[in-house]
Amino acid sequence: MQDLVDDMKADPAKLSFGGGSAGGTDQILAGLLAKAADVDPSQPKYVAYSGGGEALQSILSGSVDAGISGVSEFTDQVEAGKMRVLAVSSPEGVEVADKPVKSISEQGMDVEITNWRGVVGPPDIKPAERDAAIEALQKMHDSAEWQDAMQQNDWDDFFKTGDEFQSYIDSENERVKGILGEIGLTG
C-alpha cells in the first residue's frame, strides 16, 4: 500500500485505478486515498468499467496500475496468485484467501469507506408505518438465519435504523459530495 501511495505522490497523473462506474464507491475510494496522501484527488486517473469482469481484466493485463472493488470480486485471482490485496477499506483488516490483510487505516491513512445497502421509504411515510418497517427489519437482522448468512459471507454487521441511519446518510452525503467535487465530477 505504501508503494502505491509513494507512486501516487511522485506522479499522480501517471497512476491509474480501475474499478466500477464513474462516481461510485470505487472512484470515491480512489479520491479519498489521494486526498489522504496529500495529492489532488482529480490527478490520479480513474478508469470506470461497467462490470467486474472488465475491471478485473484491466488489472490482470496491466492496463491500470491498481484496482478497486469488493473483496469477493478479486478473491479467486488472489487465491490463484495472480493478484495481491494491498488493503481493505473497512475499519479493520480481514482475511482474504486465508491471509490477513490490513485495512487502509491500519496502514496509517485516515481512509475508510463501506459499501452498504439500505432500505428506504417515501418521505411522507406515516410514523406507525415507519416503526413497523423498522421493527420488521430488526426482527430479520436478529434472526439466526441472518446471523448465519453474515458469518458465512463474512459480512460486517453495519445495521442502523431510524434516526441513527438518517444521521449516517446525512454525514455520508456531505463526505461524498465533497470528494466528488474534488475529483471533478460535481460542481
66-112: per-residue pLDDT in tens?
Answer: 999 988 888 899 999 999 999 999 999 998 988 999 999 999 999 99
Q: Mean pLDDT over residues 24-46, rounded? A: 96
What residues make up the domain containing 109? 2-114
Report the relative pairing of strands 94-96 and 45-48 from DSSP bridges.
Answer: unpaired
Q: Specify the pTM.
A: 0.87
**Do residues 81 and 31 lie in contact, with contact meaning Cβ atoms separated by under 8 Å?**
no
Q: What are the Cα distances from residue 109, in Å, to 2, 33, 36, 54? A: 10, 8, 6, 28
- pLDDT band, residue 54 (cuts 50/70/90): confident
User: Does a structural domain hold residue 157?
Assistant: no
What is the total count of domains within the chain? 1
CATH code, domain with 56:
3.40.190.10
User: Does a structural domain hold residue 88?
Assistant: yes
CA distance 88 to 71: 8
- Residue 187, pLDDT above cutoff 70: no
User: Does a structural domain hold residue 79?
Assistant: yes
User: Does a structural domain hold residue 59?
Assistant: yes
User: Does a structural domain hold residue 178?
Assistant: no
User: Does a structural domain hold residue 104?
Assistant: yes
Question: Cβ-count burial of 55 within 10 angstroms (0-12 exposed, 13-18 middle, 19+ buried)?
Answer: buried
User: Does a structural domain hold residue 124?
Assistant: no
Model confidence over 110-145: pLDDT tens digits? 999 988 888 989 999 999 999 999 999 999 999 999
CA distance 164 to 9: 37
User: Does a structural domain hold residue 33?
Assistant: yes
